Structure formats: structure tokens, C-alpha cells
Amino acid sequence: MIIETEGLTKRYGRRRGIDDVTLGIDQGEIFGFLGPNGAGKTTTIRTLLGHLRPTAGRARIFGHDVTANPVAIHRRLGYLPGEFGLYDRLTGAQTADYFAHLYGGVDRGYRNRLMERLGVDPGRRFRELSKGNKQKVGLVVAFQHRPDLLILDEPTSGLDPLVQQEFHALVREARDEGRTVFLSSHVLSEVEAVCDRVALIRDGRIVRTGSVESLRDLAHHQVLLRFAGDVPVAAFENLPGVSDVQVTGRTLRLRVGGPMTPVVRAAAAYDLLDFESREPGLEETFLRAYQAAS
């Protein structure tokens, strides 16, 4: 395993940071760490990186305990902090150079391609850059030495949609080269679009871990049926998984949890003008998981 935590806990004095976080991330995964603001994403990441000392529990990266052997870890790591910055007077290119030197140099061709793909203006001073443009320099810094592991704290915040697409492509390329990506996000569509597996964090605790698909399976479908004649409510309301049944005129609305088959079978016996099924995105799944845990 590339990242492994056991009961990782960080308190800020008496305040909760994270509590009993246990995670395992394999090589070649794009792992999404999803949670709302204040859930504990940054605290987890900074504890993983050895910036914060855990109150309890432990974490290993590349098999090394993060409190014992940070140097062995950091050589092979690319990190994007939540707020990326260095010196305001350096340009984007100088900032990338500064970090490249720390790694004993990087492939400049690759570095320049990263800058082009993300649309970094290399000659602009850092202080003149918008949040999104600073973020792009930060991404170049994280990727430029082709690290085995990328840890990215809310990498797309402030990026416009086209740059986000390019970022997703970079992440997939890294994964396809056998590298590993751990990214935090509060943007569900992003995690859904790019991640292989996801952990949901809420109030400092992991509430769920699984594949993106397995999370989506938890969701309900919103189904709408429009009948040619009267609505046969009785044929639907007691079907497995069906809830929240509503009739308006000749329209029947219901929620379906789990397989759709019973509803489709029942519907086949009637004259239907319309059948709509909307699959909620990860967002709704996520809210449900949160409600279930409270």
C-alpha cells in the first residue's frame, strides 16, 4: 500500500481535528477524499505529510512511518497545499524552478508542457496572480518531478472548467503510469469524474469508503410515470425499494432504492405516456451517507 493510516487522530487542544481515520490507498489509484469545509481533509493531509504530529494512531507512506522518516517520503512526493504560495516577487517560472532545485532538477521539457497545458503565464509575478493562477503554478510544482505519489488538497478550487479538464487528464496520465493520486475535494462531480475510489469524511470521521460506483448504488432513483388513464397507485406503493409515493393527476412520482426491475415490471402492465428515471449524482448519495451517520 502507498498510503496507510490506522486510527489517525489529531486534536487541536481540545478541538476536534480528525478522529480515528483509517485509510488504505494502493499504488495506481486515484483516491478522492470528499467532505465539506471543516470536515478534516486538510488536517488529515498535513498529518500524513508530517506537518502535524498525530495525537494518536499512525500513518505510513511508501511503508515509512511519516513521523520517523519524512525525507525518504518527500523525495517521491508531489504536494499541492490548500493555499499554494512561496514568494510574491518570484514569477511562476521562478517559483517552479525554486522547487525543481529542491528535487535536484526536473525534466524541463515536461515542466514546460505542464505550464502550457495548464495555461501558466511563466513571466508573471506571483503577487499579480489570481487564486486560480496561483493554483496552476502549484500544480506545476506538484507534478514537475513526476512523483510516485501526488497529494493534492482541493486541487481544482478556483480553476476554470477547461483547466479542470486538463488537470483531470494529467491525473489520469499519472495513474496510467502507475503513480498514485490522493486528492481532497468538496466538489462531488469532480470526484465522480476522476476518482477510482472515495472516502467520505464528516466531522473528522470517515463515514464511508468505496468505489465511486458503490457509492452511487446507495442513491435512490427519482422516477416519474405518466399514465394514459388513472394512476394505479396500489400496483406500485408496496413494491420493494419504493417510497415517497406522490400522485398528481395522471402522474405518479416515487423514489426507488436499489434495483429498478420491480417498478419496470409493474409499469409494463399499463399504458404509459412517459417514464422518467433520474439517477442522483454523488452529491445526493453523499448527503444521505451524512444523514445516516448522524
CB under 5 to 8 A by kind: which of ligand ADP, Mg ion, none does 38 bind? ligand ADP
User: Interface residues with Mg ion (CB under 5 A)?
Assistant: 41-42, 82
**84 vs 236, beta carbon nearer Mg ion:** 84
Site map (CB under 6 A) of ligand ADP, residues 43-72, x = contact: x-----------------------------
Shortest approach of Mg ion to residue 154 CB, angstroms? Answer: 6
Of 189 and 261, the one with the shorter C-beta distance to ligand ADP is 189
Q: Please tell me the distance from the alpha carbon of residue 281 to that of residue 219, in angstroms, as a whole number.
A: 8
Sign of CA dihedral 41, 38, 205, 168: negative
DSSP-assigned letters across all residues of 221-239: EEEEEEESSS--THHHHTS
Residue among 2, 4, 8, 42 that touches ligand ADP (CB under 6 A): 42
Compare residues 39 and 163 and give the one whose CB is closer to ligand ADP: 39
89 binds ligand ADP (CB under 6 A): no
Residue keyed to cell 468505496: 210
Among 3, 5, 8, 17, binds ligand ADP (CB under 6 A): 17
Could you say whether residue 40 binds ligand ADP (CB under 6 A)?
Answer: yes
Residue 103 CA to residue 168 CA, distance in Å, equals 24
Q: Does 198 bind ligand ADP (CB under 6 A)?
A: no
Question: Taking CB under 6 A as the rule, does residue 37 contact ligand ADP?
Answer: yes
40 binds, among ligand ADP, Mg ion, none (CB under 5 to 8 A by kind): ligand ADP
Per CB under 6 A, which region of 38-46, 162-170, 210-218, 256-264 contacts ligand ADP? Answer: 38-46
Task: Name the H helices within the chain.
Answer: 41-48, 70-74, 92-102, 108-118, 131-143, 161-176, 188-194, 212-217, 234-237, 261-267, 282-293
CA 30, 94, 125: angle at the middle one, nearest 5?
A: 100
∠ CA 289-151-118, nearest 5°, is: 105
Nearer to Mg ion, 40 or 50 (CB): 40
Counting contacts by CB under 6 A, is residue 9 touching ligand ADP? no
**CB-wise, 33 or 236, nearer to ligand ADP?**
33
86, 82, 99, 12: which is closest to 45 by C-alpha? 82
Give the H or E element holding residue 182. strand 180-185
| Whole-angstrom distance, CA of residue 91 vs CA of residue 94 | 5
Shortest reach from residue 102's CB to ligand ADP, in Å:
25
At 93, which amino acid appears? A
* Cα-based torsion angle of the residue sequence 73, 46, 164, 208 in order, rounded to the nearest 10 degrees: 100
The DSSP call for residue 106 is: -
Smallest gap from Cβ 13 to ligand ADP, in A, equals 7
Give 40 or 155: the residue with its C-beta nearer to ligand ADP. Answer: 40
Query: Which residue among 14, 15, 53, 89 contacts ligand ADP (CB under 6 A)?
Result: 15
Residues lying near ligand ADP in the complex (CB under 6 A)? 12, 15, 17, 35, 37-43
